[in-house]
Structure 1
Amino acid sequence: MNTRFSLIPPSARRRAGMTLAACAALALGACSAPQKQPAPPAPPAVAAPKPAPAQPQAPAQAQQQAAVQALLERSDATLRMIDEDRMDAVWASLAPFVAGTRERGQFVAGLRSVRGGLGTVNGRSRAGVQGVRVGPESKMPPPGQYANVEYLSQLANGRRVIEKLSFRQEQDGWRFVGYETRNAQ
């Protein structure tokens, strides 16, 4: 059972789907990459080489890591607001183009319907992050940098679902654009 509350029209989601497949995921190396096993120690007769001095991060890499961290913090906070039914706060966090396409009551009812269908969540963990670049030819959603953050959630009734929150990068940070759920495989 897939439940979608997307604030982006279906035709625009289909157009963006081609972009989704072509985009690289955001760099989450330290957060999601499996840890490498340490190399076995050098034989006793050979001295272990001294570790190389740490290289300073390139400014672009540091900026990207800061953007990913800001996205994850925004996503976690938005999911808490949804869980706590703090719809005024969720509405205030919407990307401007989304708030202009829905009435507040319609938005709140749709979001409550999707989230309410899950019931109690016993636990969840992040399952992945994907960056999406929407090109200048797109009218809806507007061009820009988007990201999806997925969570694997264990429900009280024993089901496992994926909750996906979508965001758009705005001048003031990541802004919420959509929420959907689907059964976990």
Structure 2
Amino acid sequence: MKSISSVYRLAATCMFTAFSILAHAAPAGASPDQLLQEATLVLQQIDASQYTALWQETVPFVRSAYTADSFAKGLTQSRQSLGTIDHRSWASITRLTYLHDKSVPDGVYANVDYATQLRDGRIVYEKVSFQLASDGRWLFTGYAPRQDQVAAMQP
């Protein structure tokens, strides 16, 4: 008959193995919660005009296309076009894979789209876009406010 301690050891080993398998089963960047968290942080940086810090955390192809100043100028204009935000609610999360596309490097991308209510009562949409880095982190690629959701699926 097995002792209680050996049964506990066996159970602990089985649980460790199961958790290890589950941890390795989910591909990097698979969590929608992770994307929502990243998008929320980006929007907080944009709202606080922390454009230089955000530029430093963008994907390399964005940093090579824009200087920190031109990046900040573009985000400032985009964000100011909205006005005062009352609240945001995420509307959709879309993952896209691009291969051999002329506009963006190959990779996995994601868009987090928000329905944003402005203080004046209007509803606008904000798209925050990311590329999945090789280390599993989502790196910022772009921000696009707009009046409707038509362009929500494009990177």
- TM-score norm. by structure 2 comes to 0.75
Counterpart amino acid of 1:131?
R
- 1:76 positional shift: 0.7
SS at match of 1:94: coil
- TM-score norm. by structure 1 comes to 0.63
RMSD between aligned residues = 2.3
- Does residue 130 of structure 1 match 2:88? no
CA contact (8 A) 2:97 2:107 kept: yes
| Alignment size in residue pairs | 130
| 38, 60, 63: which one aligns with 1:96 | 60
Q: Unaligned regions of 5+ residues in structure 1, if any? A: 1-55
- Aligned residue for 2:35? 71
- Does residue 111 of structure 1 match 2:75? yes
Counterpart amino acid of 1:120?
T
- Point out the structure with the larger helix share: 2
Q: Which aligned pairs between 1:1-185 and structure 2 lie closer than 5 A?
A: 62-63=26-27, 67-135=31-99, 137-172=100-135, 173-184=137-148
- Structure having greater relative contact order (Cα 8 Å, sep ≥ 6): 1
In 1, distance between residues paired with 2:110 and 2:24?
A: 18
Counterpart amino acid of 1:77?
L
% identity of equivalent residues: 36
Change (3 A) 1:100 1:77: same
Counterpart amino acid of 1:78?
V
- 1:182 positional shift: 1.6
CA contact (8 A) 1:152 1:184 kept: no
- 1:184 positional shift: 4.1
Counterpart amino acid of 1:101?
A
- 1:67 positional shift: 3.5
Q: Unaligned regions of 5+ residues in structure 2, if any? A: 1-18, 150-155
